[in-house]
Amino acid sequence: MSFIRDPDRREVLATSAAVAASRLIPTQAHAATTSDAIRPFKVDVPEAKLTELRRRINATNWPEQETVPDQSQGVQFATMQKLARYWATDYDWSKCEARLKALPHFVTEIDGLDIHFIHVRSKHENALPLIVNHGWPGSIIEQLKIIDPLTNPTAHSASASDAFHLVIPSMPGYGFSGKPTSTGWGPERMARAWAELMKRLGYSRYVAQGGDWGAFVVDQMGLQAPAGLLAIHTNMPATVPNDINDALSRGDPAPAGLSADEQRACEQLTRTFKQVEYARMMAARPQTLYGIADSPVGLAAWLLDHNDADGQPAAAVASALNRTTSATGELTRDEILDNITLYWLTNTGVSASRLYWEYKGGFFNAKGVSIPVAVSVFPGEQYEAPRSWTERAYPKLIHYNKVAKGGHFAAWEQPQLFCAELRTAFRSLRKS
């Protein structure tokens, strides 16, 4: 991978001018300084890196098979061996790289760190600017399938009035963004960085979306309420009343008098809180995970294991490993490997893990967001937020919908439903 870092300033200026002329980035009202300049970014993986990846997969020092007939000890030996054989022999990274190269990539320095982002402007003049946030163990790969439907809605049976200008950043320590060399890059700081990014791109009014860690970031954006942010959309809402959240976190039973939806949510949360060993490890000792920087198979197993059995997100990922194609957008084996391979090529397994160490707040408890919020509840999420909790957590709720299918990786698993949710969620905020 490589940045274009002004080795020949004339070439960079020409590239920037060509991009601006094609409406991929808005023209800016003032000349950018060196520190806030938006620079083109080139995705270019040397073949030697891919050769070394395959060599390391083939040289894996395998442990023995698990001693149980199920997944209770982790990702099963047969699953990993089958995936490794395919990864080393038949998987083709170049297809993913071609998809990435077809998109406009940029990098800009914010708060001392290089932030990478994809920026695609719609051809429709009144499109609504939208910044979309990925999570862990995801990346910008999660959002690739939603780019054209959101920016070019008329090609996907939607209206031009539902178009978005799309900004998709890589979180610090993830993908092509820089890796923090000091502490402090948690969701709160990312929220401020994304507001600065949208301002730097010239967007005076915009909306934000997030799932997984991206949901934490947009909640923080909602709390900070920067100028220009009209609303947020989340597919992993933080709605749990604090007393219930505290009780369930301690392992106490749910309080009496709950509705059926609230009781079900408590049961789901109780299950979730028992299945987050991976999160506890990254929150406590992320630097100890040297193995995922040294072994591709070790990295893959770590990114695949959520210890949630038939729940999310493991269920969607596990089923994808046996799916080679999908006509409606469900996850496939190659898409899972695209994401894992990006982590390997950028050596971000450990740097991404540090986000768990950085964050000290609650996960699903209400945060006090007071700006307009839209919520989509996917049935396979770690818990299904009841409307009653959602209305209390987000007093300016502008959209709430229980989606028919899909789960934790909503944009990745069900891109058509996800895009439909975003169009509906933000429709009331568009200029007439």
**Cβ-Cβ contacts under 8 Å for 185 (sequence gap 6 or more):** 113, 172, 173, 355, 358
pLDDT at 112: 96
Query: What does the pLDDT read at residue 315?
Result: 74
- Specify the pLDDT at position 11: 33
CA-based nearest residue to 57, from 287, 294, 288, 290: 294
Cβ atoms of 402 and 377 closer than 8 Å: yes
Residue-wise pLDDT for 152-192, tens only, equals 999 999 999 999 999 999 999 999 999 999 999 999 999 99
Confidence at residue 21, expressed as pLDDT on a 0 to 100 scale: 32
> What's the gap between Cα 217 and its chain centre?
10
CA separation for the pair 100, 315 (Å, rounded): 27
The answer to whether 119 and 148 have CB atoms below 8 angstroms apart is no
Q: What pTM was estimated for this model as a whole?
A: 0.91
The residues of the chain scoring below 70 in pLDDT are 1-34, 307-314, 432
Q: What is the pLDDT of residue 7?
A: 32
Q: Which pLDDT does position 308 carry in this prediction?
A: 58
pLDDT of amino acid 341: 98
* Cβ atoms of residues 3 and 178 within 8 Å: no
DSSP annotation of 25 reads S
- Enumerate residues 6+ apart whose C-beta is below 8 A from 31: none
SS3 content of the chain, % helix, strand, coil (to 5): 45, 15, 40
Residue 131 near residue 198 (C-beta atoms within 8 A) = yes
Strand-by-strand arrangement of the 105-110 sheet? 2-3, 38-42, 105-110, 113-120, 164-169, 128-133, 206-210, 229-234, 373-377, 397-402
